Each structure stands twice: as structure tokens, then as C-alpha cells.
Amino acid sequence: MAKVEMERLLMGPGVRRLPVREGRVRGALYLPPGDGPFPGIVDMFGSIGGLMEFRSALLASRGFASLSLAFFDYDDLPNTTENLDLSYFEEAVEVLLAVPEVIPDRCGAVANSRSGDILLSMATLLPAVKAVVGVSCSTIALGSTLIYKGKVFKQGYDMDQITFEKTNRGPWVGSLQQQFTTDNPAMIPVEEADEDTHFLLAVGGDDPWGFQHSLAPFRERMLSHNRHNFETVLYPGTGHIIEPPYNAFNYQSFHRHIPTKEHLTKGIIFQWGGKPHSTCTAQEDFWRRMRTFLMNHVQDESPWYQQYLTQYTPKTPPN
């Protein structure tokens, strides 16, 4: 019998972590080593709540200034997502772009699962958000009333209407996929985003939430408005969990917040779908694809950054 312990570091040498408590905004900013300017990213997760930081640490280790953003169940933020004020996310973008080391004229945003409707709303409403990456995301408002500047932007689908199909390994969502249609009033009007705002959506073909059924209506809606500034990726044999690669395969786990017809369950064993090999391959591909997409549309297409390059003079080391 042999035993080995391996320690993995998510934060590369020289990466800085700065707690963020600015106005209403709560989170943590990860900055790469050096003075920048770096492409800025707002990084969000879904209904797990709290503050998830590992992806931002990895992104900062690859040259991005990444703001891990909490939006509920953290610090003094609300404990639920019943009402979400999109102005909070607008304020987060402003906080990020005001950082001296960050390219100031645009940013990207990355979101998982439950925060997908927030992500697409940011792309639709906020001109500074020019590249959005949705990972296993919904294209309709889910379970929340989305409010912007005091008015209802979208009334979310009532999550208590979801039916669960019992299996021997945990509940799977059974009815949500029927909501992904182009004429659903809860669908985020992504076609209203600026023409230079780009979308990258990736979903697993074995996602038990049924988010893979959201890709076709998304493409149809964009193309019907002559919008071609998007990419969609469907990974066969991959479930809901698509994270940076080389982690343990996560088929099922304890989920803290699941709406049911009775109440908001504070814990349930949920299975996420997918097969180990397919999931690991998908995560390797998407990690590279996402970083390339963000670098292209946040840094390389930034007019400010291009102007900066024409004026930049490399520092000469002393003799």
C-alpha cells in the first residue's frame, strides 16, 4: 500500500488578493504580478452563494485582473435571491474598472449556472461589459425578479414549479428544459446588447438542469436579429459542472440551496451528470477557449489598450 500527498496551488507567484468592500460591492480582487494594465473580469458563481474564489485566483495567474463577486449569502448581502438589483453588478463593474492596474474602458464577465441570467443582463444593459462567458447557464431569468434602476427588468421563472425525477443517486430536474423557448417572456433580450459585445456559452450534453436546451433558442434569437457575435459549445457526456481542469470529477455533491414546492431546502444531495473522461476533456478544452476569448475581446479589442501600446515605453533596467 502506497500513499502520496499532493498540494496544488491555485494562486501563482506574485498574484495579489485584495478584499473588496466598496459601497455595496463585496468580494475579492485578484491581480497578476506587475503593474498592468490587465484585462478585467467579473467572476460569479451560482446558487451556492457566498464567495467562490478559486477561478479568479487561476485567472489572475494567467494575466487577468479578476473580481470574485458575491451577490447573496455573504457578509452583509441578502440571504436569498428573490429580488436582484442589477445596479449592484453595475457598481461592481465600476469598482473593477477604477482599479489603476485594470484596462479602464471595458471588461469581461464569467458566470456559472444560476447567475447566468445576471450575466446576460449585464451584457444587455452595461456598455462596459464586452465579453461574457456563460458556463452551464440559463438564458432565462430563474427564480428572481431582476430589477434595474427601480424597474422590473425581468420576472423570473418560478423555481417552485420545477419537478424532480427521483433516481437512485439523487434528484434530477425534470421540467425546466420546457422553459427554454425564444418567446418565453423570462428570456433575457440578448439581442439588445451592443454589437461589439461578444458571448461564449458552454453547456454539457448531460446537464441534469437541462440548460443544454437553452443553446438553440439563444442562437435562434440572436440570428433572427442578424447578430453573429456569439459562440456556443455543447460538450457531449459532460454534466453541469464545467470548471478549470485537473480537479476531481464531481458527479454528485451537497447543494446548499434548492427551491422546492415546499420551501427553500437548505441542503440536498444533487447529482450533476456527466462521465469522468468526457468531463475532464471538456474542462481542458473550455479553460483554453475561455481564456483566449476573454483576452481577445477584453484586451486586444480595447481602443484604450491599443492607444496605450502606441505610447508605451518599456522600462530600461539600470546599468
Residue whose C-alpha is closest to residue 119's, from 28, 218, 5, 225:
218
Query: How do strand 230-235 and strand 198-204 relate by DSSP bridges?
Result: parallel
pLDDT of residue 312: 72
Task: Give 151's strand partners.
Answer: 148
Domains of the chain, start order: 16-309 (3.40.50.1820)
Rounded to whole angstroms, how far apart are CA atoms 102 and 97? Answer: 6
pLDDT, averaged per 10 consecutive residues of the chain (319 residues), comes to 83 96 98 97 90 97 98 89 93 98 98 93 98 94 90 85 63 72 91 97 92 93 96 96 89 68 60 92 97 98 95 66
Residue 189's CB is within 10 A of a number of other CB atoms, namely 14
Rounded to whole angstroms, how far apart are CA atoms 188 and 138? Answer: 9
Contacts of 42 (CB under 8 A, 6+ apart): 66, 67, 69, 89, 92, 93, 96, 107, 108, 109, 110, 122, 129
The CA distances from residue 126 to 107, 111, 140, 260, 316, in Å, are 10, 16, 18, 32, 39
Are 251 and 274 in contact by the 8 Å Cβ rule? The answer is yes
pLDDT of residue 8: 81
pLDDT of residue 189: 95
Which residues participate in catalysis according to the annotation?
113, 207, 240
Note the pTM of the prediction, 2 decimals.
0.91
* Helix, strand, coil in percent for the chain, rounding step 5: 30, 30, 45
pLDDT of residue 156: 85
Residue whose C-alpha is closest to residue 84's, from 96, 97, 95, 73:
73
In tens, the pLDDT along 278-300 reads 999 999 999 999 999 999 999 99
Residue whose C-alpha is closest to residue 115's, from 60, 38, 52, 164:
52
In tens, the pLDDT along 82-138 reads 889 999 999 999 999 999 999 999 999 999 988 999 999 999 999 999 999 999 998
Rounded to whole angstroms, how far apart are CA atoms 17 and 308? Answer: 26
What cell numbers appear for 87 in the block?
A: 445596479
